[in-house]
Structure 1
Amino acid sequence: MMLDLLFPNRCLHCNKIIEPDLLVCNLCFSQIHFTHYDYFTNNPIKEKCRLAFPVENTYALLQFEKESLSRKIIHELKYRGREKTGRVLAEWITDRLDFKDQKPDLMVSVPLHPKKLRERGYNQLHVFTETLSAYYGIPFDHELIKRNNYSKAQALKDKQHRLESDKTFSLNKSVSGKHILLIDDVFTTGNTVSSIAWEILKTGNNKVSILVMAMDL
């Protein structure tokens, strides 16, 4: 309570004091660019994924334009230690996404390399994934995928290096006959989800769908 008085939660956009569990005020919320994609029908992410691997369904919550509020929200989560942002983003998704009678069997988030995890102190996708899991009643597994190589953030790489990630990921255990929802923060080239998807697809009769916080296409 005292910390809330000394350091009140402020809107990420206008700096107005807001409730502790919010990211932006009501006025600034209207400036967030949501994609309004349909999970089951065609969208730009699905089109791009299908060029690289067999994908079932795809969904992105936000547009990730340069200098946008959406980009600022994701950066708060990834680089400024605001882990609760993942819970808020997940709640925004539950307001918009209905799996109907085609729920995936398992949720898996893109892992960090152990060194990056120690540097950051948390995986920005874990709270997000766990919140979605609790709402939809879909189990999650943070240990299924292993990141083998330590590398700098995708946002800091040039395009060529983003495309060079062969054997970046591997499976820690076998999985078969599952429809896996692969979760990432930002979809750019699609190289990361493609690398993981092939590891999942080649091990058994599995299917992969993609869900991301934001898309940068």
Structure 2
Amino acid sequence: MNNFAVSISNNYIIFAVQHTQMILDTFFPNRCIHCNRIIDADLLVCSLCFEQIHFTHFNYFKDNPVKEKCKLLFPVENTFSLMQFEEENLSRKIIHELKYRNREKTGKIIADWVTEQLDFEDQKPDLMVSVPLHPKKLKERGYNQLHLFTETLSDFYKIPFDHDLITRNHYSKAQALKDKRHRLETKNDFSITKNITGKHILLIDDVFTTGNTLSTIAWEILKAGDNKISVLVMAVDV
């Protein structure tokens, strides 16, 4: 195939993709997950509903509710939560869209919101590590809800990430479906897969509830060598 034919073929593909998107936008427009208004394809909520999101505005370097909770469980450097995770509020709906309604791209949107509020200044962590899913759960869901979120942050802040540093050893039902007693049962649930020492690790999760999952992972990393832990979550259950 000559260059002219290749060019025609590529232009046709671009046209077909754009035409398909126009049809989808016309007959299946993107809608605000809260009020159902039609919104741009790359948005999650409309501008009016965006104002209803309970952002925390925590300072990563100062004491905040996440840091206070973490300090009761493991040594922690700095912490940040983007939103408050309260009963029936919009942040809960946003994260449920991400985790349970096959909207992986929501992770990028939430990450973009984080970049507008979080400044590491000159104290960036060395590595980003998100809470892993068990392979069976990953197959069921089709994606880890934290991966695109973490990768978007990694690209913005120029901090590397490692999705394989931690593995989940046991399959379990979703945290949201567990009672409080069973949420505390995470002993031996995670393993570290690589030698790592002398690193400042930023642990990433979606919602901070009991903190037990992050604590279990943090201690695995701390035991592995002279490492430090900071925490970033999408929302904290206050």
- Asked if these proteins are the same fold (TM beyond 0.5), I'd say yes
Deviation at 1:36, TM superposition (A): 0.9
Q: Which residue number corresponds to residue 18 of structure 2?
A: none
Question: Which residue, 111, 119, 143 being the options, matches 1:98?
Answer: 119
Q: Which residue number corresponds to residue 176 of structure 2?
A: 155
Q: Which residue number corresponds to residue 6 of structure 2?
A: none
Distance 2:207 2:100 in 1: 13
Q: Give structure 1 stretches of 5+ with no counterpart.
A: none
Is residue 215 of structure 1 aligned with residue 236 of structure 2?
A: yes
Q: Give structure 2 stretches of 5+ with no counterpart.
A: 1-20
SS state at 2:53 partner: coil
Is residue 108 of structure 1 aligned with residue 129 of structure 2?
A: yes
Distance 1:27 1:162 in 2: 35
Instruction: Kindly provide the CA deviation profile for residues 163-187 of structure 1, in whole angstroms up to 9, marking residues without a partner as x.
Output: 1110100101111110000000000
**One-letter amino acid matched to 2:172:** S
Distance 1:198 1:5 in 2: 51
**One-letter amino acid matched to 1:60:** S
Runs of 4+ in structure 1 deviating by more than 6 angstroms, as ranges, are: none
Instruction: Kindly provide the CA deviation profile for residues 158-213 of structure 1, in whole angstroms up to 9, marking residues without a partner as x.
Output: 11111111010010111111000000000000000000000000010000000000
Root-mean-square deviation (CA), in Å? 0.6
**One-letter amino acid matched to 2:163:** H
> What is the aligned residue count?
217
Map residues 44-63 of structure 1 onto 2, 5 A cutoff: 44-63=65-84
Distance 2:85 2:69 in 1: 16
Larger Rg: 2
SS state at 2:82 partner: strand
**One-letter amino acid matched to 1:105:** D
Q: Which residue number corresponds to residue 158 of structure 2?
A: 137
Distance 2:169 2:26 in 1: 44
Distance 2:190 2:28 in 1: 40
Distance 2:149 2:212 in 1: 21
Deviation at 1:104, TM superposition (A): 0.2
More helix by share: 2
Instruction: Kindly provide the CA deviation profile for residues 13-70 of structure 1, in whole angstroms up to 9, marking residues without a partner as x.
Output: 1100000010111111100000111100001111111111100001000111111111
Q: Which residue number corresponds to residue 148 of structure 2?
A: 127
Q: Which residue number corresponds to residue 88 of structure 1?
A: 109
Distance 1:194 1:185 in 2: 14
SS state at 1:202 partner: helix
Distance 2:88 2:74 in 1: 31
Q: Which residue number corresponds to residue 39 of structure 2?
A: 18
Q: Which residue number corresponds to residue 16 of structure 2?
A: none
SS state at 1:182 partner: strand
Q: Give me the TM-score of the superposition, normalised by structure 1.
A: 0.99
Identity of aligned residues (%): 74
Distance 1:85 1:113 in 2: 21
SS state at 1:184 partner: strand
Is residue 30 of structure 1 aligned with residue 36 of structure 2?
A: no
Deviation at 1:4, TM superposition (A): 1.8
SS state at 2:176 partner: helix
Distance 2:82 2:166 in 1: 23
